[in-house]
Structure 1
Amino acid sequence: MKFNIKDTITKELPADPILENFRRPVRECFSYVSPKKTSQPILVHASHVLAKELGISEEYLHSEEFLKVFSGNSILPNTHPYAMCYGGHQFGNWAGQLGDGRAINLFEIEHNDKLWALQLKGAGETPYSRNADGLAVLRSSIREYLCSEAMYHLGVPTTRALSLCKTGDKVLRDILYTGHPEYEKGAVVCRVSPSFLRFGNFEILMARDDKATLKILTDYTIKQFFPQIQAGTKEGYIQFFQEVTNRTLKMLIHWQRVGFVHGVMNTDNMSILGLTIDYGPYGWLEGYDEGWTPNTTDSREKRYRYGNQINIGLWNLYRLASSLFPLVEEIAPLEAILEGYRDAYTQQYQEMMKSKIGLYSEDSSDIELINTLEENLQMTETDMTIFFRNLSSIDKEAVITDDFLAPVMDAFYNPEELDESIRETWKQWFEAYVSRLQKEYISNLERQEKMNAVNPKYVLRNYMAQLAIDAADKGDYSVLEEMYQLILDPYGEQKDAEKWFAKRPDWARNKIGCSMLSCSS
Structure 2
Amino acid sequence: MDTLRFDNRFVNELPGDPDRSNRRRQVQGAAWSAAAPTPVAGPALVAHAHEVAALVGIAEPDVQSAAFARVFGGNALLPGMAPYAACYGGHQFGNWAGQLGDGRAMSLGEVVNAAGARWELQLKGAGPTPYSRTADGRAVLRSSIREFLCSEAMHHLGVPTTRALSLVSTGDSVVRDMFYNGNAAPEPGAIVCRVAPSFIRFGNFEILAARDDLALMAQLVDFTIDRDFPELAGIADATERRVAWFADVCERTAHMIVHWMRVGFVHGVMNTDNMSILGLTIDYGPYGWLDNFDPTWTPNTTDASTRRYRFGQQPAIAQWNLVRLAEAIAPLFESGDVLQSALERFGDVYMAEYEAMNAAKFGFVVRGDAEQLLVREGFALLYEAEVDYTLFFRALGEIGDTLPADNPIGVLGDVFYDDAKREAKADALNAWLYRWHTLVSTHGRSAAERRVAMHAVNPRYVLRNYLAQQAIDAATDGDASLVQTLLEVMRRPYDDQPEYAHFAARRPEWARVKAGCSMLSCSS
How far is the alpha carbon of 1:328 from its aligned partner? 2.2
Distance in 1 between residues matched to 2:375 and 2:238, nearest whole Å: 43
Other-structure match for 1:87: 89
Alignment of structure 1 residues 287-436 onto 2, 5 Å: 287-395=292-400, 397-399=401-403, 401-419=405-423, 421-436=424-439
1 CA distance for matches of 2:223 and 2:132? 26
Give the share of equivalent positions with the same residue, in percent: 50
1:303 Cα deviation after fit? 0.2
List aligned pairs for 1:62-77, cutoff 5 A: 62-77=64-79
**Residue 119 (structure 2) aligns with:** 116
Tell whether 2:24 aligns with 1:20: no
Consecutive unaligned residues of structure 1, counting only runs of 5 or more, are none
Q: Which residue of 1 aligns with 2:261?
A: 256
Which residue of structure 2 lines up, in the alignment, with residue 105 of structure 1? 107
Deviations 1:446-471 (A, max 9, x none): 11011001100000000100111001
Q: Name the SS of the counterpart of 1:254 in structure 2.
A: helix
1:42 Cα shift?
A: 0.9
Q: Shift of the alpha carbon at 1:41? A: 1.1
SS at match of 1:172: strand
2:394 counterpart letter in structure 1: R
Residues 311-360 of structure 1: per-residue CA shift (max 9 Å, x gap): 00000000000111112232222122223422332221111000001111
Query: 1:405 aligns to what SS in structure 2?
Result: helix
d(CA) in 1 for partners of 2:231, 2:309: 33
State the shift of 1:231 in Å: 7.3
Summarize deviations over 1:343-394 as a string: whole Å, max 9, x none.
Answer: 3322211110000011112422122111111111011211101000110012
Cα root mean square deviation, aligned: 1.2
Q: Deviations over 1:214-236 (max 9, x none)?
A: 01111010001111214771111
Contact 2:363–2:453 under 8 Å retained in 1: yes
User: 3-state DSSP class of the match of 1:190?
Assistant: strand
Tell me the distance in 1 between the aligned counterparts of 2:48 and 2:357: 33
Query: What is the rounded CA distance, in whole Å, between the counterparts of 2:415 and 2:274 in structure 1?
Result: 32
SS in structure 2 opposite 1:228? helix
Q: Residues of 1 paired with 2:447 and 2:507: CA distance?
A: 29
Q: Which stretch of structure 1 is more off in the superposition, 70-79 or 263-272?
A: 70-79
Query: Do 1:231 and 1:237's aligned partners in 2 also have CA atoms closer than 8 Å?
Result: no
Distance in 2, Cα, partners of 1:336 & 1:280: 33
Is residue 100–residue 126 contact of structure 1 (8 Å, CA) maintained in 2? yes
1:33 alignment partner AA: A
Task: Please name the residue that 2:243 is paired with.
Answer: 238
Misfit runs of 4+, over 4 Å: none
Alignment partners' CA distance in 2, 1:211 and 1:201: 13
Q: How big is the shift at 1:8? A: 0.7
Aligned to 1:53: 55
Please state how far the C-alpha of 1:507 moved relative to its aligned partner: 1.3
CA contact (8 A) 1:237 1:327 kept: no
Is the CA contact (8 Å cut-off) linking 1:400 and 1:430 kept in structure 2? no
CA contact (8 A) 2:244 2:342 kept: no
Give the Cα separation in 2 of the matches to 1:231 and 1:45.
Answer: 46
CA distance in 1, matches of 2:346, 2:84: 35
Report if aligned partners of 2:104, 2:129 keep a CA contact under 8 Å in 1: yes
Q: Report what 1:153 is aligned to.
A: 156
Structure 2: 5+ residue runs without aligned partners?
none
Moved more, 355-364 or 35-44: 355-364
What CA deviation, in whole Å up to 9, does each residue of 1:401-426 have, x standing for no partner?
2220022131111234323x512211
Aligned partners of 1:337, 1:77: CA distance in 2, in Å? 42
Whether the 8 Å contact between 2:253 and 2:346 is mirrored in structure 1 is no
Q: Is contact 2:5–2:80 with CA below 8 Å preserved after alignment?
A: no
- Cα deviation, residue 399, structure 1: 4.5
Instruction: Output the CA distance in 2 between the equivalents of 1:516 and 1:418.
Output: 24
State the 1:54 CA deviation. Answer: 1.6
CA distance, structure 2, for counterparts of residue 46 and residue 422 of structure 1: 45
Deviations 1:144-171 (A, max 9, x none): 0000000000000000100011111111
Q: CA deviation at 1:506?
A: 1.2
Q: AA paired with 1:211?
A: L
Judge conservation of contact 1:238–1:328 (CA < 8 Å) in 2: no
Cα 1:215–1:406 change in 2 (3 A) is same
Q: Residue type of the partner of 1:108? A: E
Matched, 1:213 2:235: no
Matches within 5 A, 1:468-483: 468-483=471-486
> Aligned partners of 1:102 and 1:399: how far apart in 2?
55
1:497–1:231 CA distance, 2 compared to 1 (3 A): farther
CA positional deviation for 1:4 = 1.2
SS of the residue corresponding to residue 238 of structure 1 reads: helix
Supply the AA of the counterpart residue of 2:372: I
Q: Is the 8 A contact 1:251 1:274 kept in 2?
A: yes
1:50 positional shift = 1.1
Structure-to-structure mapping, 1:122-161, within 5 angstroms:
122-161=125-164
Tell whether 2:499 aligns with 1:496: yes
TM-score by length of 1: 0.98
My pick for the range that moved more, 71-80 or 228-237, is 228-237
Distance 2:197 2:132 in 1: 24
Paired letter, 1:344: V
Partners of 1:144 and 1:231 in 2: CA distance: 40
Where does residue 441 of structure 1 map in the other structure? 444
Letter in 2 for 1:21: N
Equivalent position amino acid for 1:513 in 2: G
Q: CA deviation at 1:400?
A: 5.6
Match of 2:460 among 445, 457, 462: 457
Query: Quick one: distance in 2 between partners of 1:337 and 1:376?
Result: 36
Q: Structure 1 residues 433 and 75 mapped into 2: Cα distance closer, same or farther (>3 Å)?
A: same
1:431 Cα deviation (Å)? Answer: 2.1
Alignment-mate amino acid for residue 107 of structure 1: G
Q: Which residue of 2 aligns with 1:227?
A: 230
Q: Distance in 2 between matches of 1:379 and 1:182?
A: 40
How far apart, CA to CA, are the structure 2 residues paired with 1:49 and 1:75?
Answer: 22
State which of 16, 34, 37 in structure 2 corresponds to 1:35: 37
Which residue of structure 2 lines up, in the alignment, with residue 507 of structure 1?
510
